[in-house]
Amino acid sequence: MKPASYLLLAVALLGCTDPKSHAAPVASAETTVDPATIPAEDAGPSDAGADASDAAAPRRPFVAPSVRTLDIPEETKSPIPKTPEWTDTVRRDVVVRPEYTCTLQHVREWNRITCDAANATVTLVTGTRDGTLLWATRDSAQILFPVRRGDRRVIELLPHAKLVTVDGNYGPSQFEQPGGGPVVLTEMWLEGEDAPTLVVQ
């Protein structure tokens, strides 16, 4: 055996092979990792936290809009009813909430909605202004409008909190009473429809 052959044999026995021949360990396709063995602090980022918080937060139940078919009025226009005409008119509840209630009355083609809502703001958001009257006081609000074919209007009522005074053992005290959530009223009598409708949301 030549001296060069001795040198190659010695290198092989010592395990000093060429560094280029060392490859990084490759995970087998059959290798599996048990998730339970991963410490919680080593877990990677995920959106599980957001989902968990959403699940823990109370969800408000979905309330479907209330749709009512209004009485079909006569097609002829009439003047605004006077106050005595509303006295013996039937009242129907259209909004019933813990904080306030709204009732509906009608005389001919005229409809009046009265709400015992505190410090409310009433706004005609869009639609027919002809004959629409809105006003509010400290303790109530009223919406007056005619229902005629082709009309369409959206009215929003937004109650606000009010201060209530109570006499106690140490004199009068005040606290804020919530006004309640808003109400959106959509009244329409579209062309081709047999009767007008009132949508309450």
- Over the chain, what is the mean pLDDT? 75
Mean pLDDT value across residues 168-192: 82
Q: Is the pLDDT of residue 22 over 70?
A: no
Q: What is the pTM of this model?
A: 0.63
Please name the residue that has the structure tokens 């109570």. 166
Q: Which residues pair with 110 in a beta bridge?
A: 107, 146
Please tell me whether residue 84 adopts helix, strand or coil conformation.
helix
Q: Which residues pair with 141 in a beta bridge?
A: 115, 136
Q: Is the pLDDT of residue 53 over 50?
A: no
Higher pLDDT, 165 or 159: 159
Mean pLDDT value across residues 69-88: 91
**DSSP annotation string for 4-53:** HHHHHHHHHHHT---GGG-------TT----GGGS-GGGPPP-SHHHHHH
The predicted structure's pLDDT at residue 33: 44
